[in-house]
């Protein structure tokens, strides 16, 4: 009897082997599913989903300026500025009093180098909504990048007044003041940025560099 059954696998060991095989098969199934099926859905960019969603709304409601603004903004975020402009221009055509349409159009024009058109759109935003917090900041930033420092200061002062909690507005105002040689005003603006955000690295670096330069004079 002993010789007859000596080569048979014990029942508990067989169960263990069966369980291991089942786990391996399950893991392989998961891997194949992720490779060929499930991953196809996971790799779709959420932004593309949003674009398709708003395209559907626009297709059904051609005069929906807000849907066009949302669609244009998604294209802007994706970096497709031409498509952003196309949809935002249509939104403005439908409703010329939509500040979001003009604002996003200004940003899109700026990205493709149409700075005069961007300036016009920023001005339209402020005509429609004088207390718009973002328009003066981005308008001032655009002027600063064009070396139009007086215009930049004017808009950035307005930006800090409309949004006193914006450390970036104070920092950029400091940069514009410094470019004009108004060092005391620049230091004060940097200090304000650091009061708002003590860890603002750009403001901190600019403040200490300018302070060192002033002390040398």
Q: Tell me the fold of 43-132.
A: 1.25.40
Same-fold call for 43-132 versus 133-217: yes
Domain ranges for the chain = 43-132, 133-217
Q: Which residue has 């949809």 as its token pair?
A: 87
* pLDDT tens column, 82-104: 999 999 999 999 999 999 999 99
- For the whole model, what pTM was predicted? 0.78
**DSSP-derived secondary structure for 132-196:** -SHHHHHHHHHHHHTT-HHHHHHHHHHHHHH-TT-HHHHHHHHHHHHHHT-HHHHHHHHHHHHHH
User: If 0-12 CB within 10 Å is exposed, 13-18 middle and 19+ buried, where does residue 87 land?
Assistant: buried
CATH of 133-217, one of 3.40.50.970, 3.40.1280.10, 3.40.50.150, 1.25.40.10: 1.25.40.10
Task: Compute the average pLDDT of residues 57-73.
Answer: 97
Say whether pLDDT at 156 is over 80.
Answer: yes
More confident of the two residues 193 and 37: 193
**What's the pLDDT band for 1 if we cut at 50, 70, 90?**
very low
Could you give the percent of the chain with pLDDT greater than 90?
Answer: 77
């Amino acid at each position: 009897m002993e010789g007859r059954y000596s080569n048979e696998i014990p029942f508990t060991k067989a169960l263990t082997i069966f369980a291991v095989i089942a786990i391996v098969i399950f893991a392989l199934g998961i891997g194949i599913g992720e490779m060929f099926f499930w991953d196809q859905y996971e790799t779709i960019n959420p932004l593309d989903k949003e674009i398709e969603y708003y395209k559907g709304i626009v297709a059904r409601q051609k005069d929906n300026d807000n849907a066009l603004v949302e669609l244009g903004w998604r294209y802007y975020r994706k970096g497709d500025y031409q498509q952003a402009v196309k949809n935002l221009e249509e939104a403005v055509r439908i409703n010329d009093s939509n500040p979001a349409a003009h604002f996003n159009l200004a940003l899109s024009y700026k990205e493709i180098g149409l700075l005069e058109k961007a300036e016009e759109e920023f001005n339209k935003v402020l005509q429609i909504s004088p207390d718009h917090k973002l328009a003066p900041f981005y308008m001032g930033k655009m002027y600063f990048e064009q070396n139009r420092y007086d215009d930049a200061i004017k808009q950035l002062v307005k930006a800090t007044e409309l949004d006193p909690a914006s450390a970036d507005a104070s920092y950029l105002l400091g940069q514009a003041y410094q470019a004009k040689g108004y060092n005391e005003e620049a230091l004060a603006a940097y200090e304000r940025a650091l009061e708002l955000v003590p860890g603002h690295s750009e403001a901190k670096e600019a403040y200490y560099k300018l302070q060192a330069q002033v002390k040398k004079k």
